[in-house]
Amino acid sequence: VIIQAPMAGSQGSALAIAVCKAGGVGSLPCAMLSLEAMRAEILAIQAATDRPYNVNFFCHALENLRPPMVSFHFGLPSPELVDRIKKMGAQILSTATTVEEARWLEARGVDRIIAQGVEAGGHRGMFLTDDVTTQLGTMALLPRIIDAVRVPVIAAGGIADARGVKAARALGAAGVQVGTAYLSCIEATTSAVHRAALAAPHHTALTNIITGRPGRGIVNRVMRELGPIRADVPSSRAPRSLWRRCAQRRRSWAKVISRRCGPGRTSARTRTCRPPRSPARSRQSN
Amino acid sequence: VIIQAPMAGSQGSALAIAVCKAGGVGSLPCAMLSLEAMRAEILAIQAATDRPYNVNFFCHALENLRPPMVSFHFGLPSPELVDRIKKMGAQILSTATTVEEARWLEARGVDRIIAQGVEAGGHRGMFLTDDVTTQLGTMALLPRIIDAVRVPVIAAGGIADARGVKAARALGAAGVQVGTAYLSCIEATTSAVHRAALAAPHHTALTNIITGRPGRGIVNRVMRELGPIRADVPSSRAPRSLWRRCAQRRRSWAKVISRRCGPGRTSARTRTCRPPRSPARSRQSN
C-alpha cells in the first residue's frame, strides 16, 4: 500500500481524492483546519471515492465521520480517545522515529506503525526524545522497528519512486508513505514559492527554528543565518499555537514555513497525480 | 558484491582474509599502518587467498603490490598517483556523500563509487563540503547518485543483514559495503571495550570532536559533555596527525576513539566471519 503523507498547508481533499483514484491511500491533514473545514473536506472525499483514505492529526479529537484510517504524529491522544476511534472501526496509525517509540505505540494498540526515517520531509514525529541524534535513516530504522514489533510497519523517508518502494518492501515494510513526490502535483495547494524551490536544485536540513520542533525543510535564509538547530527555541508547546496562528495568517507565513521537503527527486509529475509505481501488485489496505 | 568496510584500528589482514574466504571482498585499512606493516599485511592476504581484496587509504601513496582494488576516503590523491594506480591494473573506488562528490569522482576516473549514507559508521568521506546537513540517508542518497553517474555504485550505510543487501539492490546498487556487522567478528581486532559497547544497547551519533572530521560513533561521555558536533574543533588537517599519533599510542587512544559504529544490528556473529547472505547469487567483482 502507498499512503500519501499528510502535508498540512500544502494540500486539502483534492490531492487525497486524486491519490485514492490513482490507487493509493490519500490523506487529509487536519492540523490547520477548523472542525467545520475538516468536516467539509472529509465529506468531499467520501463523496468522491469509495477507496480507503486517512485523516491525520497532530493530536486532535475526531467527529463521527467514520474515516477508515486515522493517523497521528507526535504520539497519541488520550487512551479514551484512542478507544473511541477504534470503536468507530477506524485503523489507527502513528509515527515512530525510534525503536522505543514503536514499542510504545504498539503497547497502546496502534494498528500500524509508520517508521519515519530521518530523510522524511516535514516534522519529525519524535515524542519520547528531543535528541535529534537518535533519528536514523530509513535503511537502518525500518528493519530495527520491524524486528521490534508485531504490527505491520509502513516505511517513510526518502522514498521517491518505484525503486524506493521496492527497497522498503525488501526491508520488510508492509507499505510506504510518500510525501515530497506529491507536493508538486496540481491537486496540491503547495504555494508558488514552494513549488519553485522544489523545482530548483535545493538542499534540505533538519531544523527546529521554524516551529520549535525538528523537521526537514529546504534550507532558506533564516535557517542559514540562525543555524538550523538551536537549543534556544521556544518550548515544544509552541508549535501548536504557531500552527493555529498560521492557519489564520496563512498567506504571510507561507513564504517562511511551508517549504517542507524531503530529499526526494524533484521531477514529480505536476500534471497528473500518481503515486510511484509499485514493483509488485499494490495491495488494497484494509 | 559485498565489500567489507575498511576499519582502521579495528582490523588487520585476518578479517580481510576471513571475508575473502567467505566469498566477500576483504579490505585492509592502511591509514594507521607504516609502509612496512602495510606491505606485510598485503603479503599475508596474497598468501592466504586468491580472491579479490581491497586496500584502503585516506590519501596515501601505494607501493607495487598490485592489489586488485584500491579505495580512498576524503576524495582522491593527486592525478599522477591515480594514474599510476590505474596503470598497475587496480580498480579505484572512492566515497561520495553527495551527488556533487559522486560527479567529481567520476570525472577523475574512479571505477566505482561508494555512496555513503549518513547511517554509516566511521568517518564521513565528505570532501567537497563541511556542512553535515548535506549528508543524506542511504535510501535517498543512493538512487540520486546512481542517477547522476555511469559507473557502478556501491551502497554503504545502515546495511546490516540480507534485507539491507536486497534493498540496496532494489535501489540500483551494484554492491554493498558493510562495516559494523564485521566489528564483532573474532578476526577483527576490535577492542574489548568497543565489543562490550557494541553488544549492549547503544546510540550512535555523528561527531566531529574526536578527530576533527565528522564521523558516526557510539555516543560516549566526551560526546555527551562537549556536544557531538562543534564549530570550534581543530582544522580539518588535524585528523591525519591525530591518526598518526594514534598509530603510535594506540593503546591509550583505543578507549576514546575506536568506538566507531553504524546503527546496524549488534547481533553480528562473533564466532565465524561471514558477510550478510545476499538474496541473489553474489557476483564476483572484477
CA distances from A114 to A10, A75, A177, B61 (A): 20, 11, 8, 48
- Chain centroid offset of residue B121 CA: 8
- Please state, in angstroms and rounded to a whole number, the distance separating the CA atoms of residues A151 and A202: 36
Interface contact B144-A263, CB threshold 8 A: yes
Segment A172-189 mean pLDDT: 94
Segment B103-115 mean pLDDT: 97
Please list, in sequence order, all residues whose beta carbon lies within 8 angstroms of the beta carbon of residue B270, skipping any fewer than 6 positions away: B184, B185, B186, B195
Closest Cα in chain A to B262: A140
pLDDT at residue number A286: 32
Greatest Cα pair distance, chain B, in angstroms, is 49
pLDDT at residue number A247: 46
Smallest Cα–Cα separation from A30: which of A52, A61, A65, A51?
Answer: A61
Coil vs helix vs strand at A207:
strand
- Chain centroid offset of residue A6 CA: 4
Which residues in chain A are closer than 8 Å to B137, comparing Cβ atoms? 117-119, 136-140, 157-158, 263
- Please state, in angstroms and rounded to a whole number, the distance separating the CA atoms of residues B220 and B60: 30
* Test mutation, B97, B98, B118, B139, chain A, max A CBs within 10 A: B139
Which residues in chain B are closer than 8 Å to A137, comparing Cβ atoms? 117-119, 136-140, 157-158, 263
Of A39-43, A156-160, A161-165, B244-248, which gets the smallest average pLDDT? Answer: B244-248
- pLDDT band of residue A259 (cuts 50, 70, 90) is low
Query: What's the whole-number average pLDDT of chain B?
Result: 84
Interface of chain B against chain A, CB under 8 Å?
A: 117-119, 133-134, 136-141, 143-144, 147, 157-161, 163-164, 166-172, 203-206, 219, 228, 262-265, 279
3-state secondary structure B209-272: CCCCCCEEEECCHHHHHHCCCCCCCCCCCHHHHHHHHHHHCHHHHHHHHCCECCCCCCCCCCCC
Interface contact B219-A133, CB threshold 8 A: yes
More confidently predicted of A58 and A176? A176
Segment A241-267 mean pLDDT: 48
Nearest to B205 among A133, A263, A279 (CB): A133
Predicted ipTM beyond 0.90: no
More confidently predicted of B26 and B246? B26
Please list, in sequence order, all residues whose beta carbon lies within 8 angstroms of the beta carbon of residue B73, skipping any fewer than 6 positions away: B56, B57, B58, B59, B94, B95, B123, B125
Which residues in chain B are closer than 8 Å to A171, comparing Cβ atoms? 163-164, 166-167
Interface contact B157-A136, CB threshold 8 A: no
The 10s digit of each residue's pLDDT in B190-206 is 999 999 999 999 999 99
Nearest to B119 among A134, A137, A163 (CB): A137
The 10s digit of each residue's pLDDT in A17-36 is 999 999 999 999 988 888 88
CB pairs < 8 Å spanning A and B: 122
More confidently predicted of A263 and B191? B191
- Please state, in angstroms and rounded to a whole number, the distance separating the CA atoms of residues A129 and A77: 17
Question: Which residue carries 554492491 as its cell?
Answer: B175
Cβ pair B114, B98 in contact under 8 A = no
pLDDT at residue number A59: 54
Query: What's the whole-number average pLDDT of chain A?
Result: 84
- pLDDT band of residue A279 (cuts 50, 70, 90) is very low
pLDDT at residue number A252: 36
H runs (alpha helix) in chain B = 13-21, 35-48, 79-87, 99-107, 138-148, 162-170, 180-183, 192-199, 221-226, 238-248, 250-257
The 10s digit of each residue's pLDDT in B68-84 is 999 999 999 889 889 98
pLDDT at residue number B272: 38
In 10 A of CB B284, how many CB atoms? 10
Segment B36-51 mean pLDDT: 94
Nearest to B228 among A133, A262, A265 (CB): A133
The 10s digit of each residue's pLDDT in A48-60 is 999 999 998 865 5
More confidently predicted of B81 and B158? B158
pLDDT at residue number B183: 92
- Lay out the sheet containing B204-207: strands in order across: B122-123, B215-218, B204-207
Q: What does chain A come to in residues?
A: 286
pLDDT at residue number A265: 46
**What cell was used for A190?**
503547495
Which residues in chain A are closer than 8 Å to B163, comparing Cβ atoms? 143, 170-172
Segment B173-200 mean pLDDT: 94
**pLDDT exceeds cutoff 60 at B246:** no
Q: Is the dihedral of CA A71, A75, A77, A82 positive or negative?
A: positive
**What cell was used for B275?**
558477510
CA distances from B142 to A159, A189, B170, B251 (A): 11, 30, 11, 37
Segment A88-98 mean pLDDT: 94
Smallest Cα–Cα separation from A208: which of A217, A200, A198, A195?
Answer: A217
**pLDDT exceeds cutoff 90 at B115:** yes
- pLDDT band of residue B178 (cuts 50, 70, 90) is very high
**pLDDT exceeds cutoff 90 at A143:** yes
Interface contact B136-A170, CB threshold 8 A: no
- Please state, in angstroms and rounded to a whole number, the distance separating the CA atoms of residues B154 and B114: 5
Share of chain A above pLDDT 90, in %: 64
